[in-house]
Structure 1
Amino acid sequence: MHVIILALLIGVIAGLRAFTAPTAVSWAARCGLLPLAGTHLAFLGNLITVCILTLLALFELVNDKLPKTPSRKAPPSFIARIVFGAFSGAAIGLGVGSVWTGMVCGAIGAVIGTLGGAAVRGALAAAFGKDLPAALLEDAVAIVGSYLIVTHI
Protein backbone atom coordinates (compact mmCIF):
# COMPACT_ATOMS: atom_id res chain seq x y z
CA MET A 1 0.00 0.00 0.00
CA HIS A 2 2.85 2.35 0.88
CA VAL A 3 4.41 2.12 -2.61
CA ILE A 4 1.04 2.75 -4.26
CA ILE A 5 0.53 6.02 -2.42
CA LEU A 6 4.10 7.28 -2.88
CA ALA A 7 4.21 6.35 -6.57
CA LEU A 8 0.82 7.94 -7.18
CA LEU A 9 1.91 11.11 -5.41
CA ILE A 10 5.23 11.37 -7.29
CA GLY A 11 3.18 11.00 -10.46
CA VAL A 12 1.01 13.92 -9.36
CA ILE A 13 4.20 15.95 -8.92
CA ALA A 14 5.21 15.02 -12.50
CA GLY A 15 1.83 16.32 -13.62
CA LEU A 16 2.55 19.65 -11.93
CA ARG A 17 6.20 19.98 -13.00
CA ALA A 18 7.47 17.24 -15.29
CA PHE A 19 11.15 17.35 -14.32
CA THR A 20 10.62 17.82 -10.59
CA ALA A 21 9.53 14.21 -10.04
CA PRO A 22 12.55 12.48 -11.64
CA THR A 23 14.84 15.07 -10.06
CA ALA A 24 13.46 14.30 -6.59
CA VAL A 25 13.80 10.57 -7.19
CA SER A 26 17.36 11.07 -8.42
CA TRP A 27 18.27 13.09 -5.33
CA ALA A 28 16.67 10.41 -3.14
CA ALA A 29 18.81 7.75 -4.81
CA ARG A 30 21.92 9.92 -4.48
CA CYS A 31 21.27 10.55 -0.77
CA GLY A 32 20.60 6.89 -0.04
CA LEU A 33 16.89 7.34 0.66
CA LEU A 34 15.90 5.21 -2.33
CA PRO A 35 17.85 1.94 -2.63
CA LEU A 36 18.55 1.68 -6.35
CA ALA A 37 22.17 0.47 -6.23
CA GLY A 38 22.57 -2.70 -8.26
CA THR A 39 19.37 -2.11 -10.26
CA HIS A 40 18.80 -0.89 -13.81
CA LEU A 41 17.97 2.54 -12.40
CA ALA A 42 21.13 2.87 -10.30
CA PHE A 43 22.27 5.65 -12.67
CA LEU A 44 19.72 7.91 -10.99
CA GLY A 45 22.01 8.14 -7.98
CA ASN A 46 24.96 9.26 -10.09
CA LEU A 47 26.11 12.84 -9.44
CA ILE A 48 26.02 13.69 -13.15
CA THR A 49 22.42 12.50 -13.44
CA VAL A 50 21.43 14.50 -10.37
CA CYS A 51 23.07 17.65 -11.77
CA ILE A 52 21.52 17.31 -15.23
CA LEU A 53 18.04 16.66 -13.85
CA THR A 54 18.36 19.53 -11.38
CA LEU A 55 19.30 21.92 -14.20
CA LEU A 56 16.39 20.71 -16.31
CA ALA A 57 13.99 21.14 -13.36
CA LEU A 58 15.26 24.68 -12.75
CA PHE A 59 14.88 25.50 -16.44
CA GLU A 60 11.33 24.18 -16.34
CA LEU A 61 10.49 26.36 -13.33
CA VAL A 62 11.55 29.44 -15.31
CA ASN A 63 10.13 28.32 -18.66
CA ASP A 64 6.72 27.63 -17.12
CA LYS A 65 6.24 31.34 -16.47
CA LEU A 66 6.89 32.44 -20.06
CA PRO A 67 3.85 33.47 -22.13
CA LYS A 68 4.75 31.27 -25.11
CA THR A 69 5.00 28.07 -23.07
CA PRO A 70 2.37 25.63 -24.40
CA SER A 71 -0.33 24.12 -22.21
CA ARG A 72 0.57 21.12 -20.11
CA LYS A 73 -2.50 19.46 -21.63
CA ALA A 74 -1.07 19.69 -25.17
CA PRO A 75 -0.24 16.14 -26.34
CA PRO A 76 3.59 16.41 -26.22
CA SER A 77 3.59 17.92 -22.72
CA PHE A 78 0.89 15.57 -21.45
CA ILE A 79 2.70 12.51 -22.76
CA ALA A 80 6.03 13.66 -21.28
CA ARG A 81 4.38 14.11 -17.87
CA ILE A 82 2.90 10.61 -18.02
CA VAL A 83 6.27 9.13 -19.01
CA PHE A 84 8.11 11.02 -16.24
CA GLY A 85 5.42 10.07 -13.73
CA ALA A 86 5.61 6.40 -14.73
CA PHE A 87 9.42 6.47 -14.64
CA SER A 88 9.54 8.15 -11.24
CA GLY A 89 6.87 5.81 -9.86
CA ALA A 90 8.80 2.82 -11.23
CA ALA A 91 11.95 4.02 -9.46
CA ILE A 92 10.08 4.25 -6.17
CA GLY A 93 8.51 0.85 -6.82
CA LEU A 94 11.85 -0.71 -7.75
CA GLY A 95 13.40 0.61 -4.57
CA VAL A 96 10.82 -1.23 -2.48
CA GLY A 97 10.28 -4.27 -4.72
CA SER A 98 7.25 -3.48 -6.88
CA VAL A 99 8.38 -1.79 -10.09
CA TRP A 100 5.23 -2.42 -12.15
CA THR A 101 2.89 -1.20 -9.45
CA GLY A 102 5.02 1.91 -9.06
CA MET A 103 5.04 2.53 -12.81
CA VAL A 104 1.28 2.25 -13.23
CA CYS A 105 0.54 4.34 -10.15
CA GLY A 106 3.05 6.99 -11.26
CA ALA A 107 1.39 7.24 -14.68
CA ILE A 108 -2.08 7.52 -13.13
CA GLY A 109 -0.81 10.17 -10.73
CA ALA A 110 0.66 12.14 -13.64
CA VAL A 111 -2.72 12.25 -15.36
CA ILE A 112 -4.34 13.42 -12.13
CA GLY A 113 -1.62 16.01 -11.55
CA THR A 114 -1.73 17.32 -15.11
CA LEU A 115 -5.49 17.77 -15.30
CA GLY A 116 -6.03 18.69 -11.66
CA GLY A 117 -3.03 21.02 -11.59
CA ALA A 118 -4.23 22.87 -14.68
CA ALA A 119 -7.71 23.28 -13.20
CA VAL A 120 -6.47 24.48 -9.80
CA ARG A 121 -3.91 26.83 -11.31
CA GLY A 122 -6.55 28.30 -13.61
CA ALA A 123 -8.90 28.87 -10.69
CA LEU A 124 -6.13 30.41 -8.58
CA ALA A 125 -5.00 32.64 -11.45
CA ALA A 126 -8.58 33.89 -11.82
CA ALA A 127 -8.81 34.53 -8.07
CA PHE A 128 -5.45 36.36 -8.00
CA GLY A 129 -6.22 38.25 -11.20
CA LYS A 130 -2.96 37.04 -12.77
CA ASP A 131 -1.12 33.79 -13.36
CA LEU A 132 2.28 34.39 -11.72
CA PRO A 133 1.20 33.97 -8.07
CA ALA A 134 -0.66 30.77 -8.98
CA ALA A 135 2.37 29.47 -10.87
CA LEU A 136 4.70 30.22 -7.95
CA LEU A 137 2.33 28.50 -5.54
CA GLU A 138 2.27 25.48 -7.84
CA ASP A 139 6.09 25.48 -7.89
CA ALA A 140 6.14 25.46 -4.09
CA VAL A 141 3.66 22.59 -3.92
CA ALA A 142 5.71 20.55 -6.43
CA ILE A 143 9.03 21.15 -4.67
CA VAL A 144 7.83 20.69 -1.08
CA GLY A 145 5.59 17.79 -2.11
CA SER A 146 8.39 15.94 -3.87
CA TYR A 147 10.66 16.42 -0.86
CA LEU A 148 8.01 15.03 1.48
CA ILE A 149 7.40 12.05 -0.80
CA VAL A 150 11.03 10.98 -1.18
CA THR A 151 11.78 11.42 2.51
CA HIS A 152 8.98 8.99 3.37
CA ILE A 153 10.12 6.10 1.19
Structure 2
Amino acid sequence: MFALSLALVVGVVTGLRAMTGAACAAWAAYLGLLPVAGTWLGWLASPWTAGILTILALGEFVTDQLPSTPSRTVPVQFGTRVLVGALAGAAFGTYGGAMALGALAGALGAVAGTLGGAAIRGRLARSFGRDRPAALIEDGAAVALAILAVLVLR
Protein backbone atom coordinates (compact mmCIF):
# COMPACT_ATOMS: atom_id res chain seq x y z
CA MET A 1 0.00 0.00 0.00
CA PHE A 2 2.89 2.36 0.80
CA ALA A 3 4.40 1.89 -2.67
CA LEU A 4 1.03 2.58 -4.30
CA SER A 5 0.65 5.77 -2.29
CA LEU A 6 4.06 6.90 -3.53
CA ALA A 7 3.11 5.93 -7.09
CA LEU A 8 0.00 8.10 -6.76
CA VAL A 9 2.07 11.01 -5.43
CA VAL A 10 4.61 10.76 -8.24
CA GLY A 11 1.69 10.62 -10.66
CA VAL A 12 0.38 13.89 -9.23
CA VAL A 13 3.87 15.36 -9.66
CA THR A 14 3.79 14.23 -13.28
CA GLY A 15 0.42 15.89 -13.75
CA LEU A 16 1.91 19.14 -12.49
CA ARG A 17 5.23 18.84 -14.37
CA ALA A 18 5.64 15.78 -16.59
CA MET A 19 9.40 15.63 -16.65
CA THR A 20 9.73 16.27 -12.91
CA GLY A 21 7.81 13.05 -12.23
CA ALA A 22 10.01 11.16 -14.69
CA ALA A 23 13.20 12.63 -13.19
CA CYS A 24 11.96 11.75 -9.71
CA ALA A 25 11.54 8.09 -10.67
CA ALA A 26 14.93 8.05 -12.41
CA TRP A 27 16.74 9.54 -9.42
CA ALA A 28 15.06 7.12 -7.01
CA ALA A 29 16.11 4.23 -9.28
CA TYR A 30 19.64 5.58 -9.77
CA LEU A 31 20.08 5.96 -6.00
CA GLY A 32 19.10 2.32 -5.58
CA LEU A 33 15.90 3.12 -3.73
CA LEU A 34 13.67 1.41 -6.30
CA PRO A 35 14.35 -2.23 -7.25
CA VAL A 36 14.11 -1.75 -11.02
CA ALA A 37 17.17 -3.88 -11.91
CA GLY A 38 16.14 -6.90 -13.95
CA THR A 39 12.83 -5.31 -14.98
CA TRP A 40 11.90 -3.47 -18.15
CA LEU A 41 12.44 -0.29 -16.12
CA GLY A 42 16.10 -1.08 -15.42
CA TRP A 43 17.17 1.75 -17.76
CA LEU A 44 15.80 4.26 -15.24
CA ALA A 45 18.71 3.48 -12.91
CA SER A 46 21.27 4.83 -15.38
CA PRO A 47 23.01 8.07 -14.42
CA TRP A 48 22.46 9.15 -18.02
CA THR A 49 18.71 8.72 -17.66
CA ALA A 50 18.61 10.67 -14.41
CA GLY A 51 20.75 13.43 -15.90
CA ILE A 52 18.82 13.74 -19.16
CA LEU A 53 15.45 13.71 -17.42
CA THR A 54 16.67 16.35 -14.95
CA ILE A 55 17.72 18.60 -17.85
CA LEU A 56 14.33 18.05 -19.49
CA ALA A 57 12.58 18.87 -16.19
CA LEU A 58 14.53 22.12 -15.86
CA GLY A 59 13.64 22.97 -19.45
CA GLU A 60 9.99 22.30 -18.69
CA PHE A 61 10.09 24.84 -15.86
CA VAL A 62 11.23 27.43 -18.40
CA THR A 63 8.86 26.49 -21.24
CA ASP A 64 5.89 26.38 -18.89
CA GLN A 65 6.30 30.14 -18.42
CA LEU A 66 6.03 30.88 -22.14
CA PRO A 67 2.69 32.17 -23.42
CA SER A 68 2.98 29.93 -26.50
CA THR A 69 3.04 26.73 -24.40
CA PRO A 70 -0.19 24.78 -24.95
CA SER A 71 -2.51 23.92 -22.10
CA ARG A 72 -1.73 20.72 -20.22
CA THR A 73 -5.31 19.61 -20.91
CA VAL A 74 -4.98 19.40 -24.71
CA PRO A 75 -4.89 15.75 -25.83
CA VAL A 76 -1.16 15.45 -26.57
CA GLN A 77 -0.08 17.15 -23.34
CA PHE A 78 -2.68 15.30 -21.26
CA GLY A 79 -1.85 11.93 -22.79
CA THR A 80 1.87 12.44 -22.28
CA ARG A 81 1.34 13.21 -18.61
CA VAL A 82 -0.79 10.09 -18.13
CA LEU A 83 1.78 7.87 -19.88
CA VAL A 84 4.72 9.35 -18.00
CA GLY A 85 2.73 9.12 -14.77
CA ALA A 86 2.09 5.44 -15.45
CA LEU A 87 5.78 4.84 -16.12
CA ALA A 88 6.91 6.68 -12.98
CA GLY A 89 4.17 4.99 -10.97
CA ALA A 90 5.29 1.58 -12.24
CA ALA A 91 8.82 2.37 -11.05
CA PHE A 92 7.57 3.29 -7.59
CA GLY A 93 5.32 0.24 -7.66
CA THR A 94 8.42 -1.98 -7.83
CA TYR A 95 9.12 -0.91 -4.25
CA GLY A 96 6.10 -2.93 -3.15
CA GLY A 97 6.31 -5.58 -5.85
CA ALA A 98 3.23 -4.19 -7.58
CA MET A 99 4.47 -2.66 -10.82
CA ALA A 100 1.13 -2.90 -12.66
CA LEU A 101 -0.84 -1.39 -9.79
CA GLY A 102 1.85 1.27 -9.44
CA ALA A 103 1.38 2.14 -13.11
CA LEU A 104 -2.36 2.47 -12.59
CA ALA A 105 -1.88 4.62 -9.48
CA GLY A 106 0.65 6.79 -11.33
CA ALA A 107 -1.73 7.28 -14.26
CA LEU A 108 -4.61 8.18 -11.94
CA GLY A 109 -2.36 10.57 -10.03
CA ALA A 110 -1.33 12.19 -13.31
CA VAL A 111 -4.98 12.76 -14.23
CA ALA A 112 -5.61 14.31 -10.81
CA GLY A 113 -2.43 16.41 -10.98
CA THR A 114 -3.18 17.60 -14.50
CA LEU A 115 -6.78 18.62 -13.90
CA GLY A 116 -6.38 19.70 -10.28
CA GLY A 117 -3.15 21.56 -10.98
CA ALA A 118 -4.72 23.46 -13.86
CA ALA A 119 -7.72 24.43 -11.75
CA ILE A 120 -5.68 25.52 -8.73
CA ARG A 121 -3.16 27.40 -10.86
CA GLY A 122 -6.01 29.20 -12.63
CA ARG A 123 -7.50 30.29 -9.32
CA LEU A 124 -4.12 31.42 -8.01
CA ALA A 125 -3.39 33.33 -11.22
CA ARG A 126 -6.72 35.14 -10.95
CA SER A 127 -6.05 36.04 -7.32
CA PHE A 128 -2.55 37.33 -8.17
CA GLY A 129 -3.78 39.07 -11.30
CA ARG A 130 -1.13 37.26 -13.37
CA ASP A 131 0.10 33.74 -14.02
CA ARG A 132 3.81 33.78 -13.15
CA PRO A 133 3.48 33.65 -9.33
CA ALA A 134 0.95 30.82 -9.66
CA ALA A 135 3.29 28.94 -12.01
CA LEU A 136 6.20 29.33 -9.60
CA ILE A 137 4.09 28.03 -6.72
CA GLU A 138 3.12 25.05 -8.86
CA ASP A 139 6.78 24.45 -9.75
CA GLY A 140 7.65 24.48 -6.05
CA ALA A 141 4.85 22.10 -5.19
CA ALA A 142 5.95 19.65 -7.90
CA VAL A 143 9.58 19.71 -6.76
CA ALA A 144 8.65 19.42 -3.07
CA LEU A 145 6.38 16.43 -3.69
CA ALA A 146 9.03 14.76 -5.85
CA ILE A 147 11.71 15.22 -3.20
CA LEU A 148 9.34 13.95 -0.51
CA ALA A 149 8.56 10.83 -2.55
CA VAL A 150 12.25 10.02 -2.84
CA LEU A 151 13.12 10.88 0.76
CA VAL A 152 10.48 8.62 2.27
CA LEU A 153 12.07 5.68 0.46
CA ARG A 154 15.30 6.11 2.44
TM-score interval, smaller chain: over 0.9
The alpha carbon displacement at 1:5 in A equals: 1.1
TM-score by length of 2: 0.96
Structure 1 stretches of 4+ with a deviation exceeding 4 A read none
- 1:101 — aligned with what? 101
Quick check: 1:14–1:21 contact (8 Å CA) kept in 2?
yes
The alpha carbon displacement at 1:63 in A equals: 0.2
Quick check: 1:87–1:103 contact (8 Å CA) kept in 2?
yes
Opposite residue 128 of structure 1, the aligned amino acid is F
1:99-136 Cα distance to aligned partner (Å, 9 max, x none): 11101010000000000000000000001111000000
Quick check: 1:33–1:151 contact (8 Å CA) kept in 2?
no
For 2:19 and 2:81, the matched residues in 1 are separated by 8
TM-score by length of 1: 0.97
Q: Does 1:88 align with 2:92?
A: no
Quick check: 1:23–1:54 contact (8 Å CA) kept in 2?
yes
- 1:20 — aligned with what? 20
Aligned residues, how many?
153
The alpha carbon displacement at 1:95 in A equals: 3.1
- 1:76 — aligned with what? 76
- 1:11 — aligned with what? 11
- 1:33 — aligned with what? 33
1:60-90 Cα distance to aligned partner (Å, 9 max, x none): 0100000000000000000000001000000
For 1:103 and 1:39, the matched residues in 2 are separated by 14
What root-mean-square deviation, in Å, do the aligned CA atoms of Structure 1 and Structure 2 show? Answer: 0.9
Quick check: 1:13–1:142 contact (8 Å CA) kept in 2?
yes
Quick check: 2:3–2:94 contact (8 Å CA) kept in 1?
no
For 1:46 and 1:35, the matched residues in 2 are separated by 13
Summarize the alignment of residues 42-57 of structure 1 with structure 2, pairs less than 5 Å apart: 42-57=42-57
The alpha carbon displacement at 1:148 in A equals: 0.2
The alpha carbon displacement at 1:28 in A equals: 0.9
- 1:152 — aligned with what? 152
